[in-house]
């Protein structure tokens, strides 16, 4: 079976990283897998980016052109909304690969127009890296539940109305999905439950499969070497945080983290710990003045990222809304406990008192207290071992890939039965 993944990005953001990790894990099991991206192939085998100067130029401006559709009704500050109206020109590239099954990942920012999917003949699997596939266009609904029955009056848009872009987007999805009957992969139980509430989604076609990670690359064994490289003495403690454009996305909880750090610094423990931050963007000016900050910037290589996680004593994730963040999977794989708010898919990842602590949303004082508890544990060995154990049991890459192969076979058989195709065609993986 030839599997073709579609992902707007291969290296920018968590969805692109997750798509490439799945692709690599499938290749390791002998599957015929390729990934079609708009930007950022980075020399990864089987990841296909546009070729030629004209194609690369279009890839760079495509996002801006697609966002022009929302100029008359732009998203409100701090909310993400993608219309997906732009003609994409991708159908020929897909047909050239002649896939037996199409696996969609994050395809917004104008990469794939919904109506293009109606022109494909192969079965479709779609990983829900956010909620865009089953809403009218928002990537996270917040407190809104209008996606259940038709959207409209969208709180993510500056001029909500009955027939706004969200309502039109919802109707477009209903028309397309009626023809292609997609299956959806939910990385977290929260995403699965949320998707099943939408009338666009057939509940029986939602399958939960966690994102996976290479446990050989992300490993607790790196800890001693990493701490030595960063010049940390045995008594020094490190609070780590990181995200793409952390301080620019309110959903990431940047203000809550700064508040928690301020409270932690004022607790009298500040002299024994420092705060590390990685990712795109800045925001260092918002960090309380008494906090010892080490700004690491964007870390492209996974090996370097794994060393940072392994050196840290606790990973702080202050998200207000999240699915199954790669950063938490990475931290746990390196044996680093996690402190986060009890939201979204975090209960799938963090067992309070075991591999970290979940606190009530969005209590910065409780968040600071949880960080303090982890930092002051005399022997962090058991908690670090529990973190690694959870990663091994829930997020191992080959197990994730095998679960996807089982799903592909199930979806392909259902598609073949529905369209009268020869049974078993294309199932050799």
Half-sphere exposure of 16 (CA within 13 A, CB side): 22
CATH numeric code, 220-394: 3.40.50.2000
- The pLDDT score that the predictor gives to residue 425 is 44
2-212+396-419, what's its fold? Answer: Rossmann fold (3.40.50)
Share of the chain above pLDDT 70, in %: 92
Q: Confidence class of residue 10 from pLDDT cuts 50, 70 and 90?
A: confident
| Distance spanning both ends of the chain, measured CA to CA | 6
Greater model confidence, 77 or 310: 310
What is the mean pLDDT of the segment spanning 328-349? 97
Q: Among the listed ranges 72-81, 305-314, 372-381, which one has the minimum average pLDDT value? A: 72-81
Q: Confidence class of residue 428 from pLDDT cuts 50, 70 and 90?
A: very low
- The pLDDT score that the predictor gives to residue 22 is 97
What is the mean pLDDT of the segment spanning 176-191? 96
401 pLDDT more than 90: yes
- The pLDDT score that the predictor gives to residue 429 is 41
Q: What is the pLDDT of residues 84-115, one digit of tens each?
A: 888 788 999 999 999 999 999 999 988 999 99
424 pLDDT more than 70: no
Q: Is 179 exposed, middle or buried (0-12, 13-18, 19+ CB in 10 A)?
A: exposed
What's the mean pLDDT when you consider all of the chain? 90
Q: Confidence class of residue 49 from pLDDT cuts 50, 70 and 90?
A: confident
* Sign of the Cα pseudo-torsion (66, 68, 72, 75, in order): positive
Torsion of CA 267, 268, 273, 279, to 10 degrees: 30
- The pLDDT score that the predictor gives to residue 188 is 98
Kindly list the domain boundaries of the chain, sorted by start residue: 2-212+396-419, 220-394
Q: Show the tokens assigned to 65.
A: 């052109």
- The pLDDT score that the predictor gives to residue 367 is 97
Tell me how far apart the alpha carbons of residues 127 and 250 are, in angstroms, rounded to a whole number. Answer: 24
- The pLDDT score that the predictor gives to residue 267 is 60
283 pLDDT more than 90: no
- The pLDDT score that the predictor gives to residue 411 is 96
Q: Among the listed ranges 29-43, 47-61, 228-242, 345-359, which one has the minimum average pLDDT value? A: 47-61
Same fold across 2-212+396-419 and 220-394? yes
What is the mean pLDDT of the segment spanning 244-254? 77
What is the mean pLDDT of the segment spanning 52-74? 74
Q: Among the listed ranges 33-37, 83-87, 302-306, 400-404, which one has the minimum average pLDDT value? A: 83-87
385 pLDDT more than 90: yes
417: how many CB neighbours lie within 10 A of its CB?
A: 10
- The pLDDT score that the predictor gives to residue 427 is 38
C-alpha radius of gyration, the chain, whole number: 22
Q: Show the tokens assigned to 142.
A: 């917040």
- The pLDDT score that the predictor gives to residue 289 is 79
- The pLDDT score that the predictor gives to residue 426 is 42
HEC string of the chain equals: CEEEEEEEECCCHHHHHHHHHHHHHHHHCCCEEEEEEEECCCCCCCEECCCCHHHHHHHHHHHHHHHHHHCCCCECCCCCECCCCCCCCCHHHHHHHCCCEEEECCCCCCCCCHHHHCCCCCCEEEECCCCHHHCCCECCCCCCCHHHCCCCCCCCECCCCCCCHHHHHHHHHHHHHHHHCCEEEECCHHHHHHHHCCCCCCHHHEEECCCCECCCCCCHHHHHHHHHHCCCCCCCEEEEEECCCHHHCHHHCHHHHHHHHHHHHHHHHHHHEEEEEECCCCCHHHCCCCCCEEEEECCCCHHHHHHHHHHCCEEEECCCCCCCCHHHHHHHHCCCCEEEECCCCHHHCCCECCCEEEECCCCHHHHHHHHHHHHCCCCCHHHHHHHHHHHHHHCEHHHHHHHHHHHHHHHHHHHHHHHCCCCCCCCCC
- The pLDDT score that the predictor gives to residue 284 is 60
Greater model confidence, 299 or 39: 299
What is the mean pLDDT of the segment spanning 200-224? 96
């Amino acid at each position: 079976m030839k599997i073709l993944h579609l992902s707007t990005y291969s290296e920018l953001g968590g969805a692109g990283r997750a798509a490439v990790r799945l692709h690599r894990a499938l290749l390791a099991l002998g599957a015929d897998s390729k990934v079609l991206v708009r930007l950022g192939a980075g020399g990864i085998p089987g990841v296909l980016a546009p070729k030629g100067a004209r194609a690369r130029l279009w890839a760079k401006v495509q996002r801006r052109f697609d966002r022009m559709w929302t100029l008359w009704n732009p998203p409100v500050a701090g909310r993400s909304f993608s219309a997906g109206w732009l003609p994409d020109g991708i159908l020929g590239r897909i047909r050239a690969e002649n896939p037996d099954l199409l696996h969609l990942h994050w395809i917004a920012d104008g990469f794939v127009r919904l109506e293009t999917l109606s022109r494909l003949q192969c079965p479709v699997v779609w990983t829900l890296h956010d909620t865009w596939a089953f809403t009218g266009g928002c990537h996270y609904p917040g407190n809104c539940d209008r996606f259940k029955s038709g959207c409209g009056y969208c709180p993510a848009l500056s001029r909500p109305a009955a027939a706004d872009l969200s309502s039109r987007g919802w109707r477009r999805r209903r028309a397309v999905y009626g023809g292609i009957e997609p299956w959806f992969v939910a990385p977290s139980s929260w995403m699965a439950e949320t998707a099943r509430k939408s009338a666009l989604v057939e509940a029986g076609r939602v399958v939960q499969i966690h994102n996976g990670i290479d446990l050989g690359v992300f490993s607790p064994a790196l800890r001693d070497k990493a701490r030595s490289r960063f010049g940390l003495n045995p008594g020094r403690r490190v609070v780590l945080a990181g995200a793409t454009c952390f301080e620019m996305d309110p959903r990431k909880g940047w203000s809550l983290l700064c508040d928690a750090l301020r409270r932690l610094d004022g607790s009298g423990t500040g002299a024994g710990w420092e705060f590390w931050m990685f990712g795109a963007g800045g925001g260092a000016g918002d960090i309380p003045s008494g906090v010892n900050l080490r700004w690491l910037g964007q870390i492209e290589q996974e090996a370097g990222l794994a060393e940072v996680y392994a050196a840290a004593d606790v990973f702080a994730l202050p998200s207000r809304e999240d699915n199954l963040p790669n950063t938490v999977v990475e931290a746990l794989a390196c044996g680093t406990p996690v402190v986060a708010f009890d939201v979204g898919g975090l209960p799938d990842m963090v067992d309070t008192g075991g591999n970290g602590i979940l606190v009530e949303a969005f209590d910065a004082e409780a968040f600071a207290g949880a960080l303090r508890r982890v930092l002051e544990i005399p022997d962090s060995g058991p908690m670090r071992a529990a973190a690694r154990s959870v990663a091994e049991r829930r997020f191992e890459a080959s197990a994730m890939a095998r679960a996807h192969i089982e799903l592909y076979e199930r979806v392909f058989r259902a598609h073949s039965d529905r369209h009268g195709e020869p049974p078993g065609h294309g199932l050799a993986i």
